[in-house]
Amino acid sequence: MPERSDLDVDALRARLIAHRDEVRADEASTVADRAVVDASDTAMGRLSRMDALQRQAMAQATERRRQVELARIDAALKRMDDGEYGACLQCGNDISLRRLEFDPAVPLCITCAGGRKG
């Protein structure tokens, strides 16, 4: 499939790579928060232990979102390599330029995504 002439794939690729670097930098900066809390650690007060567990749960939820985001970015980069970038994964129609410029990792056209704005 030929690349779409209306897309500046190189520019979008650069944005995806920059975004991936940001996500990875975030990931590295929160490793300590995600470390396993020892709930049997009696040296730690009950409240600070609850606080630590809550912080850990939040950090883990954020980490899961980061993993999803990284997967989306990698999948979009792979579609660029394969020359399939810009086509909806579900129906195969072109994803609008405006939508791709808003979020270069977007995998679906607006119809398949449920008509949400973006």
Three-class DSSP category at 28: helix
**For Zn ion, which is the closer residue by CB, 70 or 108?**
108
- Write down the least CB distance from residue 89 to Zn ion, Å: 8
Q: For 103, list phi and psi in degrees, rounded to 5.
A: -145, 95
Per DSSP, what are the bridge partners of residue 94? 87
User: Which residue is listed with tokens 């399939």?
Assistant: 84
With contacts defined by CB under 5 A, name the span among 9-17, 42-50, 66-74, 83-91 that binds Zn ion: 83-91
Locate 12 and state its tokens: 């979008």
Binding mask 86-115 for Zn ion (x = CB under 5 A): --x-xx-----------------x--x---
Binding region for Zn ion (CB under 5 A): 88, 90-91, 109, 112
